[in-house]
Amino acid sequence: MEEFNNYFKSAFTVDNVIFGFDNGDLKVLLIKRGEEPYTGKWALPGYFVYPNEDLDTAANRILEELTSIKNVYLEQVKTFGAVNRHPFGRVITVAFFSLIKISHYNLQPASIAKKAQWHSVSKIGDLAFDHNEILAACLNRLKWLVRTRPVGFELLPPKFTLTELQHLYESILETELDKRNFRKKILSMNLLIDLEESQEGVAHRPARLYKFDKEKYKQFLAEGFNFEVKESKKKETQKTLSRKKQLQANP
């Protein structure tokens, strides 16, 4: 016990990569640092974990302080603890990401709003600390997630069109998807409810609005996951070729 207390202890933080979707673009909420080190640089929102706080509690706290939003999708991704990642001492940080609906994002107190800003993921420059690396890890996880689980809904307003959903996927996966195949796939999951309403205020044929079916989603989670969105293949994969070879060899 006494021995225990003598061990080296390190500062312990949580960084939260807050994703949103707006204007056809995937965004991250960044904060302009007002203090040393890296003053003036953009950084991921993060803070020390309190002694009586679990990790995800800390991540939620950081999110709420910034956006006044609670209860959103939040996932632990990876822990970063390189010896020299913080110039003032040893700091270990657990990276989380969360998915929020930007439309629901309440303006924070002015003091915070001055510092916090949405940035298109595709146009991020040099961030403070190792935050580019953290962001990259979270982006990767998000890509995997979106191919695997129908979480797109977390980033869209409650009512959305299939085209919006497709743009969201395309933006996250950085690829183009075939409209018909995408719709076939998404609708075949039966996780969308057709609201039988249409878009308003657009200068072209209005699209149908859908909402996400939370009940069916629970069922889906319980039964195992059979969902994947794939991009087009442009060339024969190595796998295909080698399989053909194999078949020729053993006719």
Partner DNA sequence: CTCCCTCGTGTACTTTTTACACTAATTAAA
Partner DNA sequence: TTTAATTAGTGTAAAAAGTACACGAGGGAG
Helical packing angle, 162-173 and 131-148, nearest 10°: 130
What character string, x for contact with its own copies (CB under 8 A) and - otherwise, covers 110-149? ----------------------------------------
141-149 long-range Cβ contacts below 8 angstroms, 24+ apart: 141/75, 141/77, 141/97, 142/19, 142/97, 142/99, 142/172, 143/172, 143/173, 145/75, 146/172, 146/173, 146/229, 147/173, 147/228, 147/229, 147/230, 148/225, 148/227, 148/228, 149/225, 149/227
d(CA 68, CA 116): 13
- Does residue 251 touch DNA according to CB under 7 A? yes
The one of DNA, its own copies, none whose footprint includes residue 205, by CB under 5 to 8 A per kind, is: DNA
Which of 22, 53, 170, 213 is close enough to bind its own copies by CB under 8 A?
53
CA-to-CA separations, 10 to 76, 82, 86, in angstroms, rounded: 20, 12, 11
Phi and psi based region of residue 100 (left: phi greater than 0; alpha: psi -120 to 50; beta: remaining): beta
- Does residue 49 touch its own copies according to CB under 8 A? yes
Stretch that binds DNA, among 6-14, 85-93, 114-122, 206-214 (CB under 7 A): 206-214
- Does residue 4 touch its own copies according to CB under 8 A? yes
Looking at residue 102, the DSSP 8-state letter turns out to be G
Q: Closest CB to DNA among 5 and 238?
A: 238
Q: Closest CB to its own copies among 111 and 246?
A: 246
The one of its own copies, DNA, none whose footprint includes residue 218, by CB under 5 to 8 A per kind, is: none
Stretch that binds DNA, among 55-63, 69-77, 84-92, 201-209 (CB under 7 A): 201-209
Looking at residue 79, the DSSP 8-state letter turns out to be E
What character string, x for contact with its own copies (CB under 8 A) and - otherwise, covers 161-190? --------------------------xxxx
Residues at the interface with its own copies (CB under 8 A): 1, 4-5, 7-12, 36, 48-55, 76, 78-79, 81-83, 88-90, 92, 94, 187-190, 219-220, 223, 226-227, 237-239, 242-243, 246
